[in-house]
Amino acid sequence: MSKSDYDKGMKTRRKALGDAWVDRALATQTPFNAEFQDMITRTCWNEIWNRPGLPHRERRMIVIAQTAAMGRWEEFKLHAGAALRSGDLSQDDLKEILLQTSVYCGVPTANTAFREAREVVATLSPAKTRSPTLSPALSQGRGRKRERQ
């Protein structure tokens, strides 16, 4: 792996999680975990997040659903908060992700996810706490009679 892979991964990591979070993670770097930090920056944040197959917004949605499914609430709150703060996802987007999660991962998981998400939303600025209109992708098909799958 090259230095440019690390640099591209770091750029994506900072964009996705915010400078403050990444700076805190790097401040805890020691000789023991330095290789791990390097590996996740190159592999996760460059090789996976920068693949052309899915836009970052969709990757965020997947990560939020996956961290809820696994009960990794610290990571869930990190990614949900970063997505809301950046404007990549709206609160309505997050709600739809969690409703979908309730069907495939269970109501207890979604119940906890909604509680954790509520805590994240409470930390946002007032401009970010308004419930914006649904994103175009989620609003498609609204108001039409639902078809049986």
Q: Do 62 and 118 sit in the same domain of this protein?
A: yes
Is the model's pLDDT at 138 over the cut of 80?
no
Is the model's pLDDT at 143 over the cut of 70?
no
Which residue did the predictor score with more confidence, 119 or 138?
A: 119
CA quadruple 62, 71, 18, 82: dihedral positive or negative?
positive
How many structural domains are present in the chain?
2
Q: Do 33 and 61 sit in the same domain of this protein?
A: no
Q: Do 122 and 75 sit in the same domain of this protein?
A: yes
User: Is 147 domain-assigned?
Assistant: no
In this prediction the pTM is 0.81
**Which tens digit of pLDDT belongs to each residue from 39-95?**
999 999 999 999 999 999 999 999 999 999 999 999 999 999 999 999 999 999 999
Residue 65 lies in domain: 55-126
Which residue did the predictor score with more confidence, 138 or 90?
A: 90
Q: What does the block give as tokens for 88?
A: 């990549």
Which residue did the predictor score with more confidence, 130 or 21?
A: 21
User: Is 137 domain-assigned?
Assistant: no
Q: Do 22 and 77 sit in the same domain of this protein?
A: no
- The answer to whether the CB of 115 falls within 8 A of the CB of 68 is no
Cα–Cα distances in Å, from 45 out to 9, 10, 79, 81, 101? 4, 7, 13, 18, 24
Q: Do 35 and 63 sit in the same domain of this protein?
A: no
State which amino acid sits at residue 38. Answer: D
